[in-house]
C-alpha cells in the first residue's frame, strides 16, 4: 500500500474519493463515522475528502462537524450546510458541486454503513472498471443486523417486487452505500425524479437504462445505534407509488 502513497505518477495516486455525508440530527454518530473514514482511508492510502451536508439539524450536528474539521483539517473535512431539510437528491446535487474527487462515495452517517468496506468498493471498481459499485445486503456474506422482522420484510419485499417489475440486474436496490464515477452520479441525479426511499432504487434503474456498468460488494448493514429510523408508513406508501411510476415510465 505504501507505493500508492509514494508514487505520484500512478493512476491510483491521481484518483480522489469524495465522501458525501448528508446529515440531520447525527450529533452522536458523526464523530465516530468520520473517525472510521479517516482510519480506513489512511490505512489504504487513497486520497479522500469528506463533505458534510447538514440540513439545519437542531441537535447541533453542524457544531460537532466544525470541531471535527479543526481536528482533521479543512482539506479533509468540508462543511457545506443548508438551512433546512431539502431531500436526499438535492443533498447529493449540493455535494457534487463542492466535490473535487473523480469518484464519489455516498453513505449514511448513522453508522449503518461501515467504512471498512470502502477499500473493497474501490478495488472492485478498479478490477472491473465499473461506473458504479453498490453495496449489497443480499449476496455473498452480506446481511442485515439489528432490524426487527417488519423492517426485514419491508426491505426484502421492496427488493423482490422491484426485481419482478423492473429487472434491474442488481441485487440490492434500496441500499444507499455506493461508489460512483463523479460524472456518472451527475448524470444520474439529473435523470432521477424520485424522492425519499425510492430515490436509491431509481438511481440503479436509470444507470442500467443509460448503459452504465454496476458492480456489487457484499456488506453488513447494522441498524442505527443512536437516533430514530426515518422509515415509516409514509415512506412505504411513497416507495410503492414511486415503484409503479418507474414501472410505467421505464
Predicted confidence at residue 205, as pLDDT, reads: 87
Predicted confidence at residue 160, as pLDDT, reads: 76
Residue ranges of the chain with pLDDT lower than 70? 1-13, 143-144, 146-147, 151-152, 155, 162-169, 196-197, 223-250
pTM reported for the whole predicted model? 0.81
Predicted confidence at residue 1, as pLDDT, reads: 37
Predicted confidence at residue 212, as pLDDT, reads: 95
Q: How far is CA 152 from the centre of its chain?
A: 20
Fold type of domain 17-249: Spore Coat Polysaccharide Biosynthesis Protein SpsA; Chain A (3.90.550)
Amino acid at each position: 500500500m505504501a507505493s500508492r502513497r509514494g508514487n505520484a505518477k500512478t493512476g491510483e495516486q491521481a484518483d480522489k474519493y469524495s465522501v458525501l455525508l448528508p446529515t440531520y440530527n447525527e450529533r452522536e454518530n458523526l464523530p465516530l463515522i468520520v473517525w472510521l473514514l479517516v482510519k480506513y482511508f489512511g490505512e489504504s492510502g487513497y486520497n479522500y475528502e469528506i463533505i458534510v451536508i447538514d440540513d439545519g439539524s437542531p441537535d447541533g450536528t453542524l457544531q460537532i462537524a466544525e470541531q471535527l474539521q479543526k481536528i482533521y483539517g479543512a482539506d479533509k473535512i468540508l462543511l457545506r450546510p443548508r438551512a433546512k431539510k431539502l431531500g436526499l437528491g438535492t443533498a447529493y446535487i449540493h455535494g457534487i458541486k463542492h466535490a473535487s474527487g473523480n469518484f464519489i462515495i455516498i453513505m449514511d452517517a448513522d453508522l449503518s454503513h461501515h467504512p471498512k468496506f470502502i477499500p473493497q468498493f474501490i478495488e472492485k471498481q478498479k478490477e472491473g472498471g465499473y461506473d458504479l459499485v453498490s453495496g449489497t445486503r443480499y449476496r455473498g456474506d452480506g446481511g442485515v443486523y439489528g432490524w426487527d422482522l417488519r423492517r426485514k420484510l419491508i426491505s426484502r419485499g421492496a427488493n423482490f417486487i422491484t426485481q419482478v417489475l423492473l429487472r434491474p440486474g442488481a441485487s440490492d436496490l434500496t441500499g444507499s452505500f455506493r461508489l460512483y464515477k463523479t460524472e456518472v452520479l451527475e448524470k444520474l441525479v439529473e435523470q432521477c425524479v424520485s424522492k425519499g426511499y425510492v430515490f436509491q432504487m431509481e438511481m440503479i434503474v436509470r444507470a442500467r437504462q443509460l448503459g452504465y456498468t454496476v458492480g456489487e460488494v457484499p456488506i453488513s448493514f447494522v441498524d442505527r445505534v443512536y437516533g430514530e429510523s426515518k422509515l415509516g408508513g409514509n415512506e412505504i406508501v411513497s416507495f410503492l407509488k414511486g415503484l409503479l411510476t418507474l414501472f410505467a415510465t421505464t
